[in-house]
Structure 1
Amino acid sequence: MPRRTITLPEHFLFATHYDVLYSDVNAANHLGADRLLSIAMEAQLRFIRQLGHSKAIAFEEAGLIMAHAETAYLAEADYGDRLRVELGAREVEQKSFQFVYRISKDDSGEEVARVATTLLFFDYQTRRVVAVPDDFRAQVTAPAVSPPWPG
């Protein structure tokens, strides 16, 4: 089977740090591949909160649900490593979009992983997928600016 590549977006909207925890380390004593999605979801929540939404899933009365996820593990990271997690959006369609994450070691810049998630907005009252809200679409498709970066 040919290896799939997660293509990075043209620009990133957000960046944050993540310190590899003991609970992120597997029996081989490095960051477990199963933890990549959790790290990406933490960055997603931080980005959403920065946009002014107090909850992880609340946008104009719709919830945010994940329809698909892909991970590509590119290099090892160890307990205590400080990672830089960058988030960008692409493929913003009528009812779905992708967040793409680049996870790198903060000190060396070595790329550790890429993650892509396909997300949908969901109305829990009507139990249906709804259109991507216009305000959110504008926030994630705005022209590139320097991503907010924690000092």
Structure 2
Amino acid sequence: MNSKPQIENTDSEFPSRYYFSTEIPIRKIDLSLDIHVSFASILDLVMEAHLQFFQYLGYSVTDIHGNSIIFANAFIQYQGELLYKDKVIIDVSLDNMGEKSFDLYFRLSKKNRSEKVSVVKIRVLFFDYSQRKVVPIPDAFRKKFEGGKIISQASPEIGAGSSGTLGPDGFVSGFRKLEVWKLAHVFLLHLYELCDTWKEKVEPNLIDHIKSVSSLLPVRIAGAWGTRIRSEKIKNILKAKVHLEELRYLLILVADLGVVDPSQELDDLEIINSHLKKYLNRVRTGEARKIR
């Protein structure tokens, strides 16, 4: 994979919606002259975030429907410092999808997105190493985004972080750090809005049942985080999986009744289910508390 980007300042505006977020602690080795993070380390952080993003999508960057990706260029806008022990939040978005290329955006911030660090935009190409040439974007990859199969979230304004969500060190704490909880929470908000549009087509009791079951999904995930007893964590995650399957059935029911088409929401549940499985595995192996 080619990762030698062209670096220059640019006013790359981060898209209005993003698909993935991660948090990475700053180490001594990331600093320049033991002062703050260097431009090279900014790129290292972005490279880590992009690997995590494609893993989240279910891909290896060397095998995306039989092709790899390479970088044509990278543009960096510096906005603030990263210091030792800072925890940088990296939001990842994808935009400007053409025939053979798309742009990956990385927005770096810290302290619950209250302080700007930088915005990075990378032009990405699909490359077939057997033919040694750039190739069109695979249809299956394109449909993930153009068909809305990947859950997106509205990009929060940097500097507008709520102090009520901060932990004692100035960062988001607790279950809000869990990617699976964030996905379930965003899905719940979306489903509540969707149910309002279904009122004329779906029985009110069925809508109420869908809302009731869907609200239990992020509740159980938060409950799993809140207990320190491993058996109770596992019990809550398994209950979340039960609610997910109940919700899956209810959505299949409204589809079979022929009144609405919840196919996108069923795809979203598959994504949430895969993250639930990962969270369950981390709890069973004792890794869950490594996320704050």
Match of 1:80 in 2: 85
Q: Following the alignment from structure 1 to structure 2, what is the Cα–Cα distance between the partners of residues 31 and 11?
A: 27
Match of 1:12 in 2: 18
Q: State the SS of the aligned residue for 2:51.
A: helix
- Unaligned stretches of 5+ in structure 2? 1-8, 155-178, 183-290
Match of 1:127 in 2: 132
Q: State the SS of the aligned residue for 2:49.
A: helix
Mapping of 1:2-151 within 5 angstroms?
A: 4-27=10-33, 29-53=35-59, 55-107=60-112, 109-141=114-146, 142=148, 145-146=152-153, 148=179
Deviations 1:39-63 (A, max 9, x none): 111111101011111x232111111
Q: Following the alignment from structure 2 to structure 1, what is the Cα–Cα distance between the partners of residues 25 and 151?
A: 27
How far does residue 28 in structure 1 lie from its aligned partner after superposition?
5.6
Q: Following the alignment from structure 1 to structure 2, what is the Cα–Cα distance between the partners of residues 82 and 59?
A: 30
More helix by percentage: 2
Q: Following the alignment from structure 2 to structure 1, what is the Cα–Cα distance between the partners of residues 111 and 61?
A: 26
Q: Following the alignment from structure 1 to structure 2, what is the Cα–Cα distance between the partners of residues 123 and 113?
A: 32
**Structure (1 or 2) with the larger CA radius of gyration:** 2
Q: Following the alignment from structure 1 to structure 2, what is the Cα–Cα distance between the partners of residues 108 and 123?
A: 38
> Structure 1 pair 108/46, CA: closer, same or farther in 2 (3 Å)?
closer
% identical aligned pairs: 28
RMSD over aligned Cα, in angstroms?
A: 2.0
Q: State the SS of the aligned residue for 1:102.
A: strand
How many residues in Structure 1 have an aligned counterpart in Structure 2? Answer: 148
Q: State the SS of the aligned residue for 2:134.
A: strand
Q: Following the alignment from structure 2 to structure 1, what is the Cα–Cα distance between the partners of residues 120 and 108?
A: 8
Q: State the SS of the aligned residue for 1:116.
A: strand
